[in-house]
Chain A
Amino acid sequence: MRMLLSALVATTILAGAAQAATVYPLDRATILAGSPFDFKVEFKSVVKPEDVKITVNGQDYKAVLGKEAEFVAEEKGKEDKVLGSALIARDLVLPTEGTYTIEVTAGSESKSVTWDVYNTGETAKAKNVIFLIADGFSVAHRTAARIMSKGMAEGKANGRLNLDDIPPAAFIGTSATDAVATDSANTMSAYMTGHKTAVNAIGVYADRTPDSFDDPKVENIAEAIRRQTKKSIGIISTAELQDATPAAVVAHTRKRGDKAEINGMLFDVKPDVILGGGSAYFLPQATPGSKRKDDKDYVKLFQDAGYTLATDKTELAAAAGTNTGKILGIFHTGNMDTTLDREFLKKGTVEKFPNQPGLVEMTKVALDNLSKNPEGFFLMVEAANVDKMSHPLDWDRAVVDTIEFDKAIGVAREFAAKNPDTLIIVTGDHTHGVSIIGTVDDEKPGTEMREKVGTYASAGFPNYTDENNDGYPDKVDVTRRLFLNANNGPDHYETFRPKLDGPFVPAIQNEKKEYVANEAYKDVPGAVFVPGNIPKEGDSGVHAVDDVVLQAVGPGSEGFKGYMEQSDVYRVLADAFALGVKQTN
């Protein structure tokens, strides 16, 4: 043991003598052969260009990478702080699969990274891929959706969700390149590019400069599909279309908040069917409701590019019947309302946007339209509110949206039954710290709500009903309901009841920018103050680091197995479509 320790110390001292430069793509990157990517070396000090030596598999890098990198003598950080020298080469392509070891030295700095450049099979396994993702999808959401929708008696579910018959295929590790924790930008980006990246980044490696648009780019699935195939592309989200998950299909930015620019990137890629919220970023700044800071009118730009516009459920149905092949459906200035608000309670912003379609209608219209392309399609469907309602600990809304997600999965499965050359993937991008621990039973004695929490045998079974057989509980405020709980959160009041007046707002910000419990719930009978256990700058429950369950069915699904890094999912998608091979003539 002592010998091992001294050996470790010796290595550390040796390593300390040389500073490590950073190379992007990072060590252990997996790169689709033929896909363009940016190469960057960041030195920690200012170095002379003549001192920089870069080899790839022992050869001068220019010969292998096919391009000379631009030398930047001094990269600047905030307040013009000198960060060191850098080398950047954009749009490199490695056409041949294999292991590539990149050795970089300059002065006292050195770094060695190895990339795995992979190719796909010659022939596509699947004609179509439907990628269904519930943002933040955790096991508790699935269990709660099944019990709320189908009921349970004597320990057995009274019915099965659509997703219950899709084989679990892999556990997915969601961590970011800069942290074990993760967000919807870097997680969806890993799925859609095959490269892991930093929290808040999409389609790029996160470099050190403040500019969010100069980071080293990697190709995303929409660009790869356009480069190699004539397939159609569809994007559906109940969030703003510029939100991290839909954005990761098409965009490149270090900052997911660059929504106005992301909308421009969406236009550059021109997916054939685009359905969701976020019209505020389509409108020129002079239009009230716009969140742009320029005069670009993306509604007009898309229309001029041949898209049929739909702004509500009725117009979506009409657009579905047109033959333009391209539909832009924007149904809300911001995020669309939850299913519970939209279909049942009419709360949230439903009064302002009363005729929003749901995920099921959107999925149907998209499949009808995209399947007209004989070359096939890629469709991404996001149930965004599972996450958006898990953050504020509004479990009823999160679960009812999970039921809607399951119905969209049902639509996808019906399509695949008739079109067996379709690969269906059902997954989440990350998880939440949520669990079901039992029930809340209003009929238990006393007034203290805490004493009405049923655990173990006293939980009994919930008494949701579904008289009209629509798959949704007739009401969520039944007398004995599921009790879901987060393992983290801000200071808040636990009311033990569904929030029938609108989505839960557990905490609000004070003048010190700290989140404090929202007093609006303080006087709800039986409400209990729950002290927060995350920093006070946090407004809501946070993502969990737990693995995601990925399920898949159809041709190509055999590529998923065991534990997989989120970025490895892309390789299975690429292989299903044979994206290593040019399929356009």
Chain B
Amino acid sequence: MTHPDPQVTRRTLMTLLAGLPLLTATRPAAAAPSLAFDELYSKFGVLGLEFSEKVKSLAGQEITIKGFMAPPLKAEAAFFVLTEIPMSICPFCSTDSDWPDNIVVVYLGEKQTFVQPSQTIEARGVLEFGSWTDPETGFVSLLRLRNAEYASV
């Protein structure tokens, strides 16, 4: 049986994440406003999505958002993709083309260890919206966190 022991996995995770609270402590303690996946867009339409007023008003500020970390495109990529549900993508999707509409691209301030895909994380960073093509990978994103960090919750 290849049944993974969830206890062991969880314990390994805890060890990995033990360093995180320290990192968070270097930031000002003021609570950053939080954003949820269902608050990103005010309209989902065939002819385009509309960013919500909340996204527009929080742009440029530090915010927090909870989600799941999709495995990185490339090990050395400067960003990861935060998704509403754990990622399961089709065998032919080597590009960004088959990602869901509602993803947030997270550019980390400093390197952090990747967590298991079924682990909920909270990312904190400066919110940015509008189309942006990552110069290294060509990955197009609509919503980003800059100078970000994360912790499991």
A interface residues, Cβ below 8 angstroms from B: 183, 200, 256-257, 259-260, 279-280, 283, 285-291, 293, 299, 311-312, 330-334, 349, 352-353, 391-392, 491, 505-513, 515-520, 522, 529, 531-532, 538-540
- Contact present for A291 and B47 (CB under 8 Å): no
Pair A332/B117 contact, Cβ less than 8 Å: no
Q: Which has the most chain A C-beta neighbours within 10 Å: B87, B88, B138?
A: B88
**B117 touches which one: A257, A312, A511 (CB < 8 A)?**
A511
- From the candidates A287, A352, A511, A540, name the one contacting B48 in the complex (CB within 8 A): A287
Q: For the A-B complex with A289-B101, A540-B90 known, give 14 more contacts whose Cβ atoms are closer than 8 Å.
A: A259-B97, A283-B47, A287-B47, A293-B138, A332-B46, A333-B44, A508-B87, A508-B118, A509-B87, A511-B115, A511-B116, A518-B86, A538-B91, A539-B88
B47 touches A508 (CB 8 A): no
Would you give the 0/1 interface string for B84-95, flagging 1 where the beta carbon is closer than 8 Å to chain A? Answer: 011111111111
Q: Which residues from chain A contact B97 at a C-beta distance below 8 Å?
A: 257, 259-260, 291
For the complex of A and B, list the 7 residue pairs with the smallest distance between their C-beta atoms, beginning with the closest.
Answer: A352-B44, A289-B49, A311-B46, A288-B49, A508-B86, A287-B48, A511-B114
- Establish whether residues B72 and A511, one from each chain, have CB atoms under 8 Å apart when the complex forms: yes
Question: With A508-B87, A518-B118 given, is the CB distance from A333 to B101 under 8 Å?
Answer: yes
* Contact indicator A519/B46 (Cβ below 8 Å): no
Q: Of A283, A513, A539, which one neighbours B90 at CB under 8 angstroms?
A: A539
For residue B4, CB closer than 8 A to chain A, the reply is yes
**B118→A289 contact, CB < 8 A:** no
Selected A-B contacts with CB under 8 Å, 12 pairs: A256-B92, A257-B95, A311-B46, A331-B46, A333-B46, A507-B88, A508-B87, A508-B118, A511-B72, A522-B6, A529-B3, A539-B88
Do B6 and A519 touch (CB < 8 A)?
yes
Contact B51 A288 (CB under 8 A): yes
Report which residue of A291, A511, A516, A539 has the largest number of chain B beta carbons within 10 angstroms of its beta carbon: A511
Once A287-B48, A288-B50 are accepted as A-B contacts, the answer to whether A200 and B92 lie under 8 Å apart by CB is yes
- Residues of B near A352 (CB, < 8 A) are 44
- A311, B1: Cβ atoms closer than 8 Å: no
Q: Distance (Å) between the CB of A538 and the closest chain B CB?
A: 7
A293 to B2, CA, bound (A): 41
Q: How far is the CA of A528 from the CA of B6 in the complex (A)?
A: 15
Secondary structure of the A side of the interface? loop
A30 to chain B, nearest CB (A): 28
Quick one: which of B44, B50, B51, B116 has the most chain A CB within 10 A?
A: B44
Whether B135 is near chain A, meaning CB under 8 Å from some CB there, is no
User: A334 and B101 in contact (CB under 8 A), knowing A491-B2, A531-B3?
Assistant: yes
Q: Are B45 and A311 interface neighbours, CB within 8 A?
A: yes
A279 and B46: CB pair below 8 A? yes
Contact of B118 among A392, A519, A538, A539 (CB under 8 A): A519
CB of A307, distance to nearest CB on chain B (Å): 14
Q: Is B35 an interface residue (CB 8 A)?
A: no
For B89, the chain A residues whose CB sits under 8 A away are 509, 539
Cβ of B88 and Cβ of A515 under 8 Å apart? yes
Question: Which residues of the other chain, B, contact A256 by a CB distance below 8 angstroms?
Answer: 92
Give the Cβ gap from A161 to chain B, nearest Cβ, in Å: 29
Complex Cα spacing A200 to B92, Å: 8
- Looking at A506, A510, A517, which has the most chain B CB atoms within 10 Å of its CB? A510
Separation in Å of the B80 CB from the closest CB of chain A? 10
With A256-B92, A288-B41, A508-B118 as contacts: A283 and B48 at CB distance below 8 Å: yes
Nearest chain-B residue to A310 (Cβ)? B46
In the complex, what distance in Å separates the CA atom of A395 from the CA atom of B47?
Answer: 31
